[in-house]
Structure formats: C-alpha cells, structure tokens
A and B are shown apart, each in its own frame.
Chain A
Amino acid sequence: MPVETAVRPVRILVAKVGLDGHDRGVKVVARALRDAGYEVIYTGLRQTPEMVVDAALQEDAQVIGLSIHSGAHMTLFPAVVQELKRRKATDIVVFGGGIIPEDDIAALKKKGVAELFTPGTPLQDIVDWLRKRFPKGA
C-alpha cells in the first residue's frame, strides 16, 4: 500500500459554465487529469457561477477548471472569481479553457483567473501547470 505519502490528491472541479453545451474539450481534459492522478469532479452542463462555487465548496475542491466555447468567457469567468471572493474562498484556484482570443487572456488574468488554455494545448501542458502550482499534490 502506498502509505508513505499522506498527501491527499488535489481535487479539481471541472465545469461547463453558461449556456454552451460543447463538452468535448472539458471531457477530454477531465479524463487526462484523472489519468494524471488528480481527483476530478465534473459538474455537467449549464452551471451558473453560483452553482459552480457551491459545488466546489461542497466537494472541497482546491481548483476549478472552467470551459466555455460560446464567447461568454469575459462575463462568466470573472463572475466565478467574484463569487469565490463573496464566499471568502479565494484560496481556490480558477483556470479556464476554450475559444479565448489572446487579448482576453491578459484581461482575464488581471481579473483573477490563474491560467487559460486555448485550442491545441497539449494535455501535458495543463498537467505540468497543475504540478507546478501544487507541487505536493498528485
């Protein structure tokens, strides 16, 4: 039994926020993170920022991964960060992915989204980023 590491795997809540139902990306990323040893919880579709934060708190997640392909990222990603502030849960790290133009990435980072991954990102890049961010987690 691997008992020498008492470190619990990092728990990641992945969510489709907004009205968009395109879930290919979120599912592929969720599987890859699970294969990399993370505990992954997928919310399913059409989550509001409030629902996402509720679920993250309930599941005791350290990370929230958001996916959007409909162009609503400038409204909905910051809304999740705001909701975390309101619920005093700013220790939860938010990252996102989807069809997000270059200029928007800088703006979203300023608004508290830790990292953004665009189409064509190797899955390994996402895993590497998480490892750096949580060196003690899975």
Chain B
Amino acid sequence: MKVRARDPKEAWKEEFESGPTRDDGIETSTISGIPLKPLYTTADLPRREEEMPGSYPYTRGIHPGGYRGRLWTMRQFSGFATAEETNKRYKYLLANGQTGLSVAFDMPTLMGQDSDAPTSRGEIGHCGVAIDSLADMETLFEGIPLGEITTSMTINSPAAILLCMYIAVAEKQGVPASALGGTLQNDILKEFIAQKEFIFPPEPSMRLVVDSIEYCAKEVPKWNTISISGYHIREAGSTAAQELAFTLADGMAYVDACIERGMRIDDFASRLSFFFDAHIDFFEEIAKFRAARRIWARWMRERYGAQDERSLKLRFHTQTAGVSLTAQQPELNIARTALEALAAVLGGTQSLHTNAMDEVLALPTDKSSRLALRTQQLLAYETGVANTIDPLGGSYFVEALTDEMERQAEVYFKRIEELGGVIPAIEASFFQKEIADAAFIYQQELEQKRRLMVGVNEFTVDDEEPMEILRIDPKLEGEQVARVREVRRTRDNARCSKSLADLRKAAEGTENLMPYILESVRAYATEGEIMNTLIDVFGIYTEKAVI
C-alpha cells in the first residue's frame, strides 16, 4: 500500500467526501447565511504580517495585556418601576459584585415625555425606570457615589437631558463633571435605522449629538459621549455583517459631523465607544468583534488621519442576544446566554451584559438577574478563558471568517456611500428594508426547520410550568404622575421658565445647547418640558411605514 505520497489535505478531502453526510436538512451556513467549509486549514490563513494585541490594527484586542491586565466590566442593564425601586436593585447588584451601572429607562422617558402626558398611559415603569426630572434622578442615585462608579445610560433622542441630570446629581454629591465616568448611548442614527425611538428629524438630532460630544470633550473628558450601537440593528433582524457594517458606517457619520463642526479628530475620537450584540452563532460573533476593531482602526488612520493611538482603538460593550431567547422552556436561556457571553469574551469585549432567562417574558426578577451576573463571574473566574489573550487568534477558521466579515462590511460601506451617506440611506429606507428582509428570511428558515430553535420548532414540551416573573404594580403610575406634578408645583417656576425660554432661543441659533439644557435641568424643568421646547423649534420626524 502506498501511504506516504498522499497530500494530507487531499487525503482528508477524499475521505470526507466518501464518508456519511448528515441529511437532516439543517443549514450549515452561519446564522447570517455565510457559507462555511467543513474544514479550514493553513490554506485559509490570510497572508499578512503577524498581528499583536495592543497594536494596530488591533484585531487581537486593544490592550497588550488583554484580560490579564483587567477583566471586562460586568455591567447589567437594569431599571424598572420607580427611581426608588431601581435604586434598591442597583445597590443589590453592586453588593453582589457587579462592577458598573447601566440604566434602563421606561418608554415615556425614552420618548422624551413626562409621566402625566396622555400617551404615557400604561407605559410608566414597565420596560425601565420612570425619570421625569432631576428629582427622580437624585432618588435613582441616592447613596451611590458617582465619583467612584461608572454608569451607562441607554437613552437617545433625549440623551443630552439625561446626561445633564447625571451631571447635576453629581454636583449635588460634590463630584465635579470632570471626574465622572460612564457612557451615554446617544446614538440617534441606529434609532432611525432600527429601534425607532426618534423624535426630531435627523439634522437637529445630529446637532444634539455633536453638541454633547463637543461639550464633553471639554467639560466631562472621561465620559464616553456615544455608544454607537449595532445591538438594536441586530435585534431588529439584521445579519452579523449588516450589524457590523451599519454600525461602523454610523460611527463614521458621527465622525464626519464632528469634523464638520470644526473639531479635531484626536480631540473626540477616543471617547467614541461601541455596542454590539452577541448572538448565538458562536464563531461568527467572535469574527465580527475582531473585524470591527480592524476596520475601525484602518478607517480612523487612513481616512481621518487620526494620530493618537487611542483614536484608533474600538472599545465596545456587548449584550447577549435578546432575540435568541425563548419563552418556551425558558431555563434554556441560561445556557444560550452563557455561550453568547463566552463569544463576547473571546472576542475581547470591554464590558458585558448577560440577559436573564426570564427577559423574554418580562423584566428580570432579583433572582434571575443575579443568576445572569453569576454567569459572567463563572466565565471570568472558573473557566480559565480570561487567562490567554485572543485565544482564537491564528485559528484557520476564525481568521478566515474575520476576513470575510470585513469583506462584507466593505461592500456595504460602498453601497451606503453610493446612496449619499447614512442619512440619505435612512430616508430612502435602505437599512430598514435590508433588516426587514433579513428578519423575514430567518423566520422562513425557522418555519421550514432549516434552522432549529430548541424548544420552539423542535424538542418542544406540551406542559410548561409557569415561571415567576416581575410584576410592575399598577399603582405606581398614579404615584409617578403625582410626583412630577409635585415637582412642578414646588420648584422656582420663574427660574424654570426663564431657563426654557433661553434654551429655546439658543435652539433657534447655532450655539451648543448643553449649557442651556443643564441650566433647565438644575431648575427642575421636566424632561417633557425640555423636549417640547426643542420640538417647537426642531419639529418631529415621522418615518415612512414600509413592510
């Protein structure tokens, strides 16, 4: 028998092709539809100079020390009912070893309206905490030293107002704005693209974003002024490559807008941060994170001429995929979340939120949110995965998939440019259609069982035990309405009215609005009052409804 002369790759190919093939009809492409080979070898390795963590283009991570230097921040997104209730949850999570705060606001707060607005009915405190004025924000952070903790705030159209409230609470605690650390989501473009919590038209929306970036560069230098988010794009149904491409394109649109304002790239770029989804397709997600860092570094250096190394480094937060969770056999969500979190860690995330198993049914209970946090602690301290930097670097498969993600993103950048940029592409419903198409394709794959969701379209059970879920007391709606009315009754109304009149005047001009908003906040103007003042000047955006 001749054995020696055969090329091992050829030999494998022959054996593979003559071997059995699973014929269960399940797709072998990634969840986003990228075709995969059954095996990757040295032939798939890209030819390039060796990449190292902490060095350009940062594919292997932004820190030379990876998690040896510092673990990721465990930052659980949390907020419900009233400021008082949420304050208790924050203290509970901090006592259990959480290392940063992340505020979830309710729908009226996200949409810039007060709890006593007619359209707030039924929405108060349900998907986050209700904040109407500085008074609520003071309660939210009561007993939490803002100089020692970092806080992330998921808020977009009214982002500037909530940041000013945070600054004002810190002032009352004796903490100067320059000492504050945290992140404001403040990413309005992805609202137009995916999550749809927009209020003003794109142009004044962008002005507010740039105002806050410009203001923070001087006054709140340690603050991440924006968290450019792919999460919502992905959750709305996009593929991994779309998430990557649309998010980075948004990032570049913000950079363009800041440069247009007259800012220098290195004065603001290091405070831009990102936020990605960690979906269930393990390797695709890791490749996405690695590609994101490489693309951003290259564009910042080559297109924008950034000199400061910090401007090149893409730092990101990750949340495990809400859409991957199932209401059926919800305990399975613990396993899904753990795997997704592992992908985020292997992809080098700077901070992480792990979803609780019951989030597909309601906001998490104390117990389920602790379990979610414990999942991260288990990853960090039991599994050993944090001991080696970019442990999948050099993997034939992961490197090839990283390159493929990059290639697909570049194709999208060209298309967006051809459409005239991000805002014209939004107005042409380009992103919205791409995402809706991808969501529909995925749903059809599920219906045809070409993809399986365990417990949903396969491995189902008939009788499920109901799960204990968090209930929002309907009484709190009336209480919150009473609270905001009390604030309006007891504040210095002359100071408040003057601050709003000044804000309005400034909005009609071109000045940076942050100092005016801050003054209104200090005067206990409510969020709704500040937003309505701006709506009078800026108008309201309505999107074309496309199916």
Contacts and interface: CB of A to CB of B under 8 A. Distances in A.
Given A31-B440, A42-B545, A119 B107 contact: no
A51 B472 CA distance: 27
Contacts of A122: 446-447, 457
A21 B195 contact: yes
B547 interface: yes
A101 interface: yes
A72 B440 contact: no
A40 to B, nearest CB: 7
Nearest to B474: A74
Nearest to A27: B436
A76 B122 contact: yes
A99 interface: yes
A17 to B, nearest CB: 10
Contacts of A37: none
Contact of B327 (A32, A46, A79, A119): A119
- Chain B, interface SS category: loop
B360 interface: yes
Contacts of A43: 545
Interface residues of B, number: 47
Interface centre among A18, A40, A74 (most CB of B within 10 A): A18
A20 B107 contact: yes
Contacts of B392: none
B122 A48 contact: no
Interface centre among A32, A76, A101 (most CB of B within 10 A): A101
B432 to A, nearest CB: 9
Nearest to B466: A102
A42 B546 CA distance: 8
A118 B466 CA distance: 14
A124 B122 contact: no
A23 interface: yes
A45 B432 CA distance: 13
Given A24-B237, A30-B547, A75 B122 contact: yes
Given A21-B196, A24-B236, A101 B122 contact: no
A20 to B, nearest CB: 6
Interface in B319-334: 323, 326-328
Contact of B547 (A20, A27, A75): A27
A48 B439 contact: no
Contacts of A101: 361-362, 469
A42 B436 CA distance: 14
Contact of B328 (A27, A74, A120): A120
A58 B350 CA distance: 52
Nearest to A77: B122
Nearest to A76: B122
A19 B111 contact: yes
B246 to A, nearest CB: 15
Contacts of A70: 107, 123, 126-127
Nearest to B436: A27
Interface in B294-324: 323
Contact of A22 (B196, B440, B544): B196
A45 B196 contact: yes
A79 B122 CA distance: 10
Interface string A38-65: 0010111110100000000000000000
A119 B121 CA distance: 24
B28 interface: no
A23 B122 contact: no
Interface centre among B107, B111, B191, B457 (most CB of A within 10 A): B107
B61 to A, nearest CB: 32
Given A27-B439, A99-B360, A101-B362, A18 B123 contact: yes
B326 A19 contact: no
A21 B126 CA distance: 15
Contact of A75 (B121, B127, B360, B447): B121
Interface of A: 18-24, 27-28, 30-32, 34, 40, 42-46, 48, 69-72, 74-76, 79, 99, 101-103, 118-120, 122-124
Interface of B: 107-108, 110-111, 113, 119-123, 126-127, 191, 195-197, 235-237, 323, 326-328, 360-363, 435-436, 439-440, 443, 446-447, 453, 455-457, 466, 469, 472, 474, 542-545, 547
20 contacts: A19-B108, A19-B120, A19-B123, A20-B107, A24-B235, A24-B237, A24-B439, A27-B440, A28-B436, A30-B547, A40-B547, A42-B545, A45-B196, A45-B543, A71-B123, A71-B127, A71-B363, A119-B326, A120-B453, A122-B457
Given A27-B439, A70-B127, A103-B466, 7 more contacts: A18-B122, A22-B235, A27-B436, A31-B547, A32-B443, A75-B122, A120-B326
